[in-house]
Amino acid sequence: MKNTTRRDFIKTSGAVGSFFILPSGLRANSPNGRICTAHIGTGGKGRVDTAYLAKHKHVEVLGLCDVDYKHGKIDTWSKQFKSATAYQDYREMLAKLDDKIDVVSISTPDHTHYPATIDAMERGKHVYTQKPLCHTVNEVRILTEEARKHKVVTQMGHQGHSSESTAMVRDWVQGGCIGEVRDVHVFSWKNYGTKAAPAQGSEYPETLDWDLFLNRAEEIPFSTSYINREWIRHGHFAGIVGDMAPHLFDPAYHALDLRVPTSVMAEVPEPSPPGRLPNAAVITWEFAARGNMPPVTLKYYLGPDTPRPQLEHLEQDRKIPFMQRGSDLGGSVLVGENASIMAAES
């Protein structure tokens, strides 16, 4: 970034990093013109998000927050960012750094995305929040209104949506290249289920504040079964749609201008024990007609034991990587009148 001005950085940083797009309308509060940031969740995916945003020379990290100091690598981050103050409670961090920060990055377990985001927005902070953004459609609507009200720049963590291929799929569909699309099939072999009951009598580490981890979730005893991202297997904190579906649905959702479905139905071959997620399901969303575009049925085939259909326009002997049993990849197929588009996970 030799000879790059702060204005140039703000306009182009989306191309330099893996996600953050900081438009020219974003202004810094700090006297030296640097963009000051606070980071909620600095372990796991938060390590990547914090590193990408902080690597720019026009960014200054002032706040680091994780409910588990050890998992969040708070000591390591604090040595790297001498100007940053460490916190366990994001509410305390936002309150104390309120007039000093411009941007808040949120990379926490799913159930805390909405409350942390709304808190930052109401303080007039620009926000980057990892997917899934919310648990309900109404929460998304509230965040949208808050963004407009406070005139803040927002972005959901979704690297694939920023790629050229997503725009290309939309151009093909909107240009009529494959005809009307009425069916979309989405595939993921990931297993989110567990039959094991949460370990009992666990003692949480001294570095973790369990009450802060629970956030708005109903109070339950700590269990080692919930740490190291294993919370994703439990309905108390997550759902089977929240992890890969935002990535895999996006090409169709963007290309077809899909919005809120008219109905959702889940077929689960083997019900899961209470509180735990199933390891396989076929979930069907129905979307109404939009303008000149017809209704759409979107089916999500999820898990290692879910049968995959033979799709129209797909040669029987053709092997599609994301449709092969056991594949680490996921993908989607937009079925048009005249042809289909396959979009692999990016």
Distance between CA atoms of 14 and 220, rounded to whole angstroms?
40
Q: Of 35, 15, 2, nearest to 105 (Cα)?
A: 35
Angle between helices 164-174 and 245-255 (to 10 degrees): 40
Distance between CA atoms of 169 and 288, rounded to whole angstroms?
21
Q: Sign of dihedral through CA atoms 274, 278, 282, 286?
A: positive
Structural tokens at position 150:
């406070």
Helix, strand, or coil (residue 129):
strand
Q: Which pLDDT value is given to residue 190?
A: 87
Q: Which pLDDT value is given to residue 32?
A: 65
Q: Which pLDDT value is given to residue 321?
A: 79
Are residues 179 and 337 in contact, defined by beta-carbon separation less than 8 angstroms? Answer: yes
Residue type, 207: T
Are residues 280 and 302 in contact, defined by beta-carbon separation less than 8 angstroms? Answer: yes
Specify burial of residue 41 (Cβ count, 10 A radius: 0-12, 13-18, 19+). buried
Residue type, 287: F
Per-residue pLDDT of the chain (346 residues; tens, 9 = 90+): 333 333 333 333 333 333 444 444 555 566 667 899 999 999 999 999 999 999 888 899 999 999 999 999 999 999 999 999 999 999 999 999 999 999 999 999 999 999 999 999 999 999 999 999 999 999 999 999 999 999 999 999 887 887 888 899 999 999 999 999 999 999 998 888 888 899 998 888 999 999 999 999 999 999 999 988 899 999 999 888 988 899 999 999 999 999 999 999 999 988 888 889 988 999 999 999 999 999 999 999 998 878 888 887 877 778 787 877 777 788 999 999 999 999 987 5
Strand partners, 183: 297, 335
Give me the long-range contacts of 91-98 (CB less than 8 A, separation at least 24).
91/119, 93/38, 93/40, 93/63, 93/65, 94/38, 94/119, 94/120, 94/123, 94/125, 97/38, 97/62, 97/63, 98/123
Distance between CA atoms of 4 and 41, rounded to whole angstroms?
30
Q: Tell me the helices (H) and strands (E) count for the chain, helix number first.
A: 9, 12
Structural tokens at position 295:
């209704």
Q: Which pLDDT value is given to residue 30?
A: 60
Q: Which pLDDT value is given to residue 20?
A: 47
Distance between CA atoms of 272 and 268, rounded to whole angstroms?
9
Distance between CA atoms of 322 and 21, rounded to whole angstroms?
29
Strand partners, 103: 37, 126
DSSP structure string for 278-298: -S-EEEEEEE--BTTBPPEEE
DSSP state of 123: T
Q: Which pLDDT value is given to residue 176?
A: 96
Q: Of 230, 225, 223, nearest to 202 (Cα)?
A: 223
Number of Cβ atoms within 10 Å of the Cβ of 145: 11
Q: Which pLDDT value is given to residue 29?
A: 64
